[in-house]
Structure formats: structure tokens, C-alpha cells
Amino acid sequence: MKLKLKKHWTTGWTISQKFNTASLRDTDKLNKLKMALSNKFQAVHDQLNREETTMESIWKEIKETITSTCHKVLGHKKHHHIEWITVDTLDMIQERRNKEAAINTSRTRAENAKAQAEYIEVNKQVKRSIRTEKRKYVEDLATMAEKAAREGNMRQMYDTTKKLWKSP
């Protein structure tokens, strides 16, 4: 007699979304996150003092507090951004997307023309900003490579020239 075993599919781990921690370089975002976390933890602390709770419920409450606050303040990583693009430029890119959406949702020709003019202006600013940031990034890499060459640090010089070669 032969038996065939059926594979029992278990629910696997769900992929957790990573938070946009790169935006913490901006001091305003960092301060906003600190204030939101301190306010929420104060509320959680007051709530936990009133009730008798287990370690599991305390941990779930703390975890939920941190994840919800980070979700509201930081947001999730959308995709990998090029390392030389700053937060200001990313904000300008988002503004450009909003202007493009305004073009697509405009109902009259006058609204469309106005939205198109705004989009063109923001698009020029974004391109100009990206161009200057990329130039600055390449210059910084070149100076790092020169410094490494002067110091005789061949590993760092090789790595920076490789980055320079690959930079789009």
C-alpha cells in the first residue's frame, strides 16, 4: 500500500515594509518623530499603569506604537533612491508628480494651460537641482579618490573610482 503525503502549506512570513529612515537626515522630520514617539509613549505608559497587563500585551502595545508612529511620520520606502539625491530634491520630485496629476485631472483648457505652465516651471527646477547635486557628488568622489591616492590607500581609491565609473 502506497501513501502519498500532501504538503501542508503554512502561512509564511509576511514581508515587512521598511520605513524611510533616510528622511531622518532632515532635522525637522527627526524632531517630529521624537515628539510623536514621546507623546504616544506617555499615553501608553499612563494606560499601562492603570491596568494589570502581561508582558505580551505590553510588548504588542509598544510595537504597535512604534510602527504606527513611524508609518505616519516617516512613511515606507518606496524604492531605492540614488544616494546623491537629497531630501529637498525628493520633495520637489513629489511636487512635480502632483503637478502632473493636476494636468491629467484638469477639466477645461484654461486649467490645463495653467497646470502645464506650473508643471514646466517645477520640472525645470527639479532638473536643475538634480544636475547640481550630481555634479557635487561626482566632485566629492573625485576629491576622495585624490586624497586616497595621496595617502596611498589603494582600496579606498579603487572603490571610489569604481563608484565614479558606475555613476549614471
Q: Report the amino acid identity of residue 150.
A: R
Give 19 or 107, the one with higher predicted confidence. 107
Largest CA distance in the chain: 80
Contact (CB, 8 A) for 99 and 115: yes
Residues 6+ apart with CB under 8 A from 72: 36
CB atoms within 10 A of CB 33: 19
Cα distances (Å, whole numbers) of residue 165 to 44, 56, 139, 143? 51, 51, 13, 14
Confidence check: pLDDT of 14 > 60: no
- Which triple of cell numbers denotes residue 148? 586616497
Task: Name the 3-class secondary structure at 19.
Answer: strand
pLDDT digits 0-9 by tens, 67-79: 999 889 888 877 6
Q: What is the pTM of this model?
A: 0.55
pLDDT digits 0-9 by tens, 46-95: 877 777 778 888 888 889 999 999 889 888 877 666 778 888 898 999 99
Contact (CB, 8 A) for 77 and 90: no
pLDDT of residue 57: 83
Task: Name the 3-class secondary structure at 96.
Answer: helix
pLDDT of residue 20: 82
